[in-house]
Structure 1
């Protein structure tokens, strides 16, 4: 189970940032870069945004202990409350239950468990990226913030953060998605404010992993004149748009044979209760993977094009599959360029899951993995699709693909050499005249 959770950490694209140290040039770079820097908005990867919760009278806890200590209290940290769980591990089932989402048929949308209210912490700042959990502390953009500050950026002045509730996901147009709609509204105001604070300079949006899904869909739904006025450049790190075959192992592992996760992080990474809307957005896209067999059994092969059949095979209900068809699938089938200057930075040279073999058709067992190239989570096929679909669009004003050899999904912003590439591309985006 620990190995599987480690794999989840790769695919969910969580593991961000470690050390970047610009030795003696730091002060000089600060003095030189500060006057011309465009504001940067950071959109983090999966699980790298914190949120609070509060319980109201209608909440029905799985055990009495889950409701009594919190009932009637004001906001408390739900994700991720590492410190309190260290002090009182018996609260783990409570937090796991309170993290669940349910589907409201009347509203046609996902929502919290009845009686649980949530709010994202510190929107507009990068403070939401700092965690007490030692595992999360070094993987959620805190050190990328330090690296950007080293070249002249300053929190709250020209450096901002756009955290989001990663349990939810962008959904197809004209489908109810209140959480994503709220994110779009807040991000629009943040970008406009950041631009006004910096002499009306357009912003640079920098994302990692799942944050790229949020930003891409945000841009595609923003009016084109607004995009061209307020967004100077979009820098996408390890974008998971197009999904990943490794996610098919994740959903197969939720068939019920595995023990319950023993940490809050483990429960989020394993998605064992299948309640998060975002799970569907990580599934491989037919636009990227076509009819290539991704899961192989003696009786049948499964590709991105027959994903509903695979979901049926691993125990998803007809209702769950219908949500995949109506909410997540249309986004990948309608993939399009954001029509703002864009740089994609991806790691390559790392064994990455391209296929899974469950020869006997037993999805509760660990599969044989067929590897290809990528960053350990995002495949090279995904990278090539971005070049084809975005770079090949004649309406796209600028597109650049940067490949960083021997760099993992998390290493993109934890390896010194990769981080230097990232910061250098952000500085180049600042200087671009088109």
Structure 2
């Protein structure tokens, strides 16, 4: 669905452009989707690898290496699967009130300010992220570092409710603000077009909501959101519950991600919102159903601890419930007509197994209900 939307994105960016020259182009900042930013890691002596895994020993003290996306390395040595999965994990630091890396693992986002980290060395992911959009924009006159910029981020983290610590998102917000200002200044003080995909849309929406309105009106010409509604997706409830995905991944990357993503702060942010889905059954078992209103109970049944469920309630849920219009011109583009997970059936309540999938309409990832909620202002399903 994302690739089919690319011509519409390019057309939207060119609508206000006179036919004469490239200088009329407004600068564009791309914010990629979930898992579309490359991460590098460095291990210190503090890192304790999983027992009998051999992880870490060849890497400790040897500088930065590619942690995500790492298709080539995993193809050459599949035993690295557990290593990368362990090193991608996050832990919650109750003293700091925030998520952080596993002790001994240092990470950084690759090439912030550019689109160079949007690519993947996995041929099956060639069209998943924004590579095609970058190529299309370059064909109509955009140039990397001149009027085309990228804002990759660590997709494991997420915005937290106001007043709670979220060092990673705060750092991203500060960097994005400076990037937008520099992009505008470099292009004759023209305001910037923010183009986002998937989780990047959530990051951008929260960023704008927490930025002064005067700044938004000065620096942001348009927000374009691709493949994102306002209410999460039932599909995201599956990997949080089912260990079958990690045991039988569709690819080595999928296995690494599924193995570790129960620890990611961002997974809570992608769960279905009570404002959109309300009491609609999303997970069905013989004894009871779970709706978005029952998400805390579902997480507990799926094996999350009381502390983890509390973090969903206090950190992630308030962000989802309080998503607001960014008060800048906005266009949302989403695909329809593709079977998309609408409900999960764990009939015997065996959440470690593979559920029966009940499909509805959407783009294959994002359910139509959450897309339509944009038009309703995020109102609850009746």
Does 1:139 find its partner at 2:128? yes
1: CA distance, partners of 2:31 / 2:172? 11
| Cα deviation 1:336-389 (Å, max 9, x = unaligned) | 111100000111111222222223323233333222221122112111111111
Q: Return the TM-score normalized by structure 1.
A: 0.80
| Cα deviation 1:303-351 (Å, max 9, x = unaligned) | 1011111111111111110010011100111121111000001111112
1: CA distance, partners of 2:91 / 2:190? 41
1: CA distance, partners of 2:312 / 2:227? 23
Does 1:75 find its partner at 2:61? no
- 2:285 maps to what in 1? 297
Query: How many residue pairs were aligned?
Result: 371
SS in 2 for 1:216: helix
Candidates 21, 24, 34, aligned match of 2:22: 34
2: CA distance, partners of 1:21 / 1:334? 32
- 2:97 maps to what in 1? 108
Aligned residues of 1:31 and 1:152 also touching (Cα < 8 A): no
- 1:349 maps to what in 2? 337
Alignment CA distance shift 1:59-1:262 (3 Å): farther
- 1:178 maps to what in 2? 167
| Cα deviation 1:243-289 (Å, max 9, x = unaligned) | 111112222213x7962758551134425561111111111000111
Shifted more, 221-230 versus 95-104: the winner is 95-104
After TM superposition, give the deviation of residue 293 of structure 1 in Å. Answer: 1.2
- 2:197 maps to what in 1? 208
1: CA distance, partners of 2:353 / 2:78? 29
After TM superposition, give the deviation of residue 18 of structure 1 in Å. Answer: 8.3
Does 1:339 find its partner at 2:327? yes
2: CA distance, partners of 1:266 / 1:61? 21
Candidates 51, 54, 59, aligned match of 2:47: 59
Alignment CA distance shift 1:268-1:286 (3 Å): farther
- 1:266 maps to what in 2? 254
Does 1:282 find its partner at 2:235? no
| Cα deviation 1:203-248 (Å, max 9, x = unaligned) | 0000111110110011001011000000000000011431111112
After TM superposition, give the deviation of residue 97 of structure 1 in Å. Answer: 1.2
- 1:96 maps to what in 2? 85
- 1:85 maps to what in 2? 74
- 1:6 maps to what in 2? none
SS in 1 for 2:63: coil
RMSD: 2.5
Alignment CA distance shift 1:43-1:65 (3 Å): same
Q: Which runs of 5+ in 1 are unaligned?
A: 1-14, 23-28, 392-434
2: CA distance, partners of 1:299 / 1:337? 39
Candidates 218, 223, 229, aligned match of 2:207: 218
Candidates 279, 303, 308, aligned match of 1:315: 303
Aligned residues of 2:90 and 2:263 also touching (Cα < 8 A): yes
After TM superposition, give the deviation of residue 96 of structure 1 in Å. Answer: 1.5
Aligned residues of 2:245 and 2:258 also touching (Cα < 8 A): no
- 1:325 maps to what in 2? 313
Aligned residues of 1:285 and 1:332 also touching (Cα < 8 A): yes
| Cα deviation 1:136-184 (Å, max 9, x = unaligned) | 3332211110101111111111000000010111111111100000000
Aligned residues of 1:80 and 1:264 also touching (Cα < 8 A): no
Q: Which runs of 5+ in 2 are unaligned?
A: 9-16
